[in-house]
Amino acid sequence: MAESERPKFEFFPWLKEQVTIPNFLTLLRLLATPFMCKYIIEDRQPALTAVIFAAIWLTDLLDGWIARHFNQITDVGKVFDPLVDKLFQISIAVSLFAVGRIPLWVLIILAVREMFMIVAGSILWFKQIVISSNVLGKLTTLYLVGVFFALVLWPREKLNCTPWLFLPWLLLSAASFVSYGLSLLRAKRNFQPSDVEANGSKHKNDLTAEEEKHISGLDNLSAKFREAVGIRNSRSAASPDREDDSVRE
């Protein structure tokens, strides 16, 4: 195959599009999380720990605002940002448990909840079903992060009452799970196999703008990967032809 006839995979232009301020802030949040955990575990400078905690959380709010208002929503950001958010929450919970500021059951419930959401979200994505985050889900996360922030500054002699702080979080988590379950039932009820055969995916055709934003990131990333693999295979298939020509010469 001639060099000019080979399909060109424009990886670097695509990669350049992913280098944005929101993604840079997300990367900073990921890199700063271990330092915050270090100060939490040392448990000697609560004021400094709280400042680092607040700065990390503010970058999460800031990168989302910048991405939406300055049209910097990228494929990488749609996947990277929520993943870093989950790592941030679990890291805080592990650190607070290590210094005895939260009970073990809180850490277990949080870890199981986040892992379930990751696995369930992946399964639904492969089935081309998107369940967007709702008010209850966002409120649950906001309350949990607020409690974690308070516990960083909480006096050690009053830690015996901290388990009660997680009771509203448990109620909010249960309510959000019910809400997401109902959303999933509605999505499955609206699913028609005949529409999938005719259109390729009824779910994607019926997505709202917000749902389209959540799913398109992984779709584009997987498409780029398949394109790169196809180009590599085509080049591998063309190489034996060049070897045969050199032998004949």
**Domain coordinates in residue numbering, the chain:** 7-235
Q: Which residues contact 199 (CB under 8 A, 6 or more apart)?
A: 205
pLDDT at 186: 81
Domain spanning 7-235, CATH architecture: Up-down Bundle (1.20)
Outline where the chain has alpha helix (H): 11-18, 21-42, 46-69, 75-98, 104-126, 135-153, 167-189, 193-199, 202-205, 209-248
* Predicted TM-score (pTM) above 0.75: no
pLDDT at 107: 93
pLDDT at 71: 83
CB atoms within 10 A of CB 214: 19
End-to-end Cα spacing for the chain? 18
pLDDT at 201: 42
pLDDT at 159: 77
Roughly what angle, to the nearest 10 degrees, separates helices 167-189 and 104-126?
A: 10
pLDDT at 234: 65
pLDDT at 111: 92
| Segments of the chain scoring below 50 in pLDDT | 1-9, 193-207, 243, 246-249
